[in-house]
């Protein structure tokens, strides 16, 4: 199994999660963990599995992740197994009714990433997943790195 994990990250939390996933998958074959700015047209060649992760920013993936999908042609992910993940703030910590309401309406980054991965021809290997940071910039909440490893282990 040849895996590519593409991530974007502003404060480093999503990168940490991506690297934990990479380590957890290393026994399954080659794994590359790439910042989205380093992805080029050759990056997807020969991959069996593609995981894409982003911080949730204003209920969405980052611009970088959205741009990445714009460059993938229709059917470009055919034959690849895919999974989407994000990092997000914990609503319990923020305790805002307004934010609860907005999140119910607009959600998090992992779901739109999952939709794009499948729209481009990928076969969903893992259900979209979100990992919590403390406050708005992190660090990761306790146990989230372990949960990220468990998440990818389900796809082995
Ligand atoms: C400008 C800004 C907007 C954010 N918007 C959201 C949001 O809509 N929903 C959410 O759960 N967290 C939101 N967050 C928290 C981010 O998800 C958090 O900073 C991110 O998970 C950290 O990942 P990173 O270290 O990889 O950048 C926001 C943070 C910032 C700074």
Q: At what angle do helices 144-153 and 13-25 cross, to 10 degrees?
A: 40
| Residue 18: other Cβ atoms inside 10 A | 24
Confidence of residue 108 (pLDDT cuts 50, 70, 90): very high
Ligand 1 centroid vs 136 CA: distance in angstroms?
A: 6
- Residues 81 and 121: their CA atoms lie apart, in Å, by 9
pLDDT tens digits, residue range 54-85?
999 999 999 999 999 999 999 999 999 999 99
| pTM score | 0.97
pLDDT tens digits, residue range 9-65?
999 999 999 999 999 999 999 999 999 999 998 999 999 999 999 999 999 999 999
pLDDT tens digits, residue range 131-148?
999 999 999 999 999 999
Strand 49-55 and strand 3-7: pairing?
parallel
- Residues 23 and 28: their CA atoms lie apart, in Å, by 10
Residue with tokens 């949730």: 56
Give the mutation target among 57, 98, 100, 131 for probing the ligand 1 site: most ligand atoms within 8 A of CB: 57
Q: CB within 6 Å of ligand 1 — which residues?
A: 9-14, 55-59, 87-89, 108, 133, 136-138
Give the mutation target among 136, 137, 138, 140 for probing the ligand 1 site: most ligand atoms within 8 A of CB: 136
Residues written for the chain? 156
């Amino acid at each position: 199994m040849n895996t590519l994990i593409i991530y974007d990250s502003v404060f480093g939390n999503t990168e940490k999660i991506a690297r934990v996933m990479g380590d957890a998958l290393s026994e399954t074959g080659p794994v590359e963990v790439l910042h989205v700015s380093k992805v080029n047209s050759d990056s997807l060649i020969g991959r069996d599995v593609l995981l894409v992760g982003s911080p949730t920013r204003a209920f969405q993936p980052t611009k970088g992740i959205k741009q990445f999908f714009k460059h993938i042609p229709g059917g470009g992910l055919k034959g690849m197994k895919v999974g989407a993940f994000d990092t997000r703030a914990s609503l319990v910590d923020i305790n805002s009714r307004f934010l609860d309401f907005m999140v119910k309406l607009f959600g998090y980054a992992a779901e739109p990433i999952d939709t794009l991965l499948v729209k481009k021809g990928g076969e969903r290997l893992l259900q979209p997943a979100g990992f919590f940071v403390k406050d708005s910039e992190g660090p990761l909440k306790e146990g989230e790195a372990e949960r990220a490893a468990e998440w990818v282990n389900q796809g082995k």
